[in-house]
Amino acid sequence: MRTALMHDRGRAVGRKRMMLAPAVVAVAVALSACGGDGGADAPAASLEGNDELQALYNAAKEEGAVNLYSHVTASEQIEGFVAAFEEAYPGVEVTITNKTGSAILETFLSEKRAGRNDADVIQYPGMAPFQNEFKKEGLIEAYTPTSAEVFPAESTVPGYAYPWLTYSMGAVYNKDLITEKELELLQTYEGWTDPIWKGRISSGSPGSASIQRALFQWVDQDPKLGEEWLKAFAELKPVPFNSITPAAERVIAGEFVASFPQMAVSAARAIPEGAPIGWVTQEYTVTNPALVAVASKAPHPNAAKLLMEFHLSEAGQKAMVESVAADTLRTDLDIQALEHEDFEAPEKLVVVDETLVSERGKQVVDLWNRLIGPGAS
């Protein structure tokens, strides 16, 4: 049985900094030219010739609303994505409930188990709940979107949930402080344990589901790394933060030269603001899919399916990249969170097997805590 999805993105990234145009991919969500002024009755251009989705849109307009439960805490990011949906499908208004991943999971579970069916669509950064509680307890509706086949099967819960974005792991650095030698070291996992970093780096922690899965890959699954690699990393005395955001902020402020493990979004969101931060990937990039599904007994079932369709469509994926600055797992798209000389796109993505994480992931987290986290001496 395969332990991880290895998805080669087919980009000639190499092990050097990329020289790309400094612009974020633009969103292209156009309305039909035959719709007049683009009002509530104007059909979306993406539906032309697609009778099935046109019928779904017509039914969704009758409902007129849809409730989205989102793990994207930055309101401007999720609102930007939602605005693209509402522009593409006028007449369907989205109400957003957004919290951290763990909080939106708790809210969704507690409401559903209490018999409350407020949510239409649920997003969560991780596959496990969709595979387990959501599916087994009947909390999500069986639905296969029209774009299902363009996502790697290992990143989906077939017939139920699909990855609307993915969070990629790597290293960020302060481009005003780092040397060329240090930058080369950041581009290999072995280089992360070099003594040159001692006392000079911050890190995220396995309180984040994305970092937990990355650590599991490096410590449990990669025979070239393993426990000895983590012990060598711990010898560097990285300063751990519960969230990637303050860890990256301290790098931007110049308190640390680099931070790893870190998510690409830290740099993708800060570079356009002029922050002195860069991002590099390694031999492969561990990535954590955030899935989306239709809630069972949804109050607006047709609008829920339409919103899920948009999440996974080409237009929706471009809107996600523009607004949220995460990566896409669609195999037919070649877009990335940011195109910039200080942002290196992942060349090969790895999605860790959730079954193995559930079986042995706690052991890796416990080891991290003993070496680096709360239990470290």
Same fold, 25-166+288-324 and 168-287+338-371: yes
Divide the 377 residues of the chain into consecutive groups of 10 and give the mean pLDDT of each group: 47 28 30 36 58 95 98 94 97 96 95 98 95 97 97 95 96 97 97 97 90 95 97 97 92 97 94 96 96 98 98 97 94 90 91 91 95 82
pTM of the entire predicted model: 0.82
pLDDT for the residue 183: 97
pLDDT for the residue 42: 53
Chain centroid, CA 153 distance in Å: 17
Residues contacting 320, CB < 8 A, separation 6+? 81, 164, 165, 311, 326, 328
Domain boundaries, the chain: 25-166+288-324, 168-287+338-371
- At the topology level, CATH places domain 25-166+288-324 in D-Maltodextrin-Binding Protein; domain 2 (3.40.190)
3-state helix, strand, coil in the chain (%, to 5): 40, 20, 40
**Tokens (6 digits) for 321:** 């990249």
List, in sequence order, every residue forming a beta bridge with 340; answer none if it has no partner.
Answer: 343
Instruction: Classify domain 168-287+338-371 by CATH number.
Output: 3.40.190.10
pLDDT for the residue 320: 97
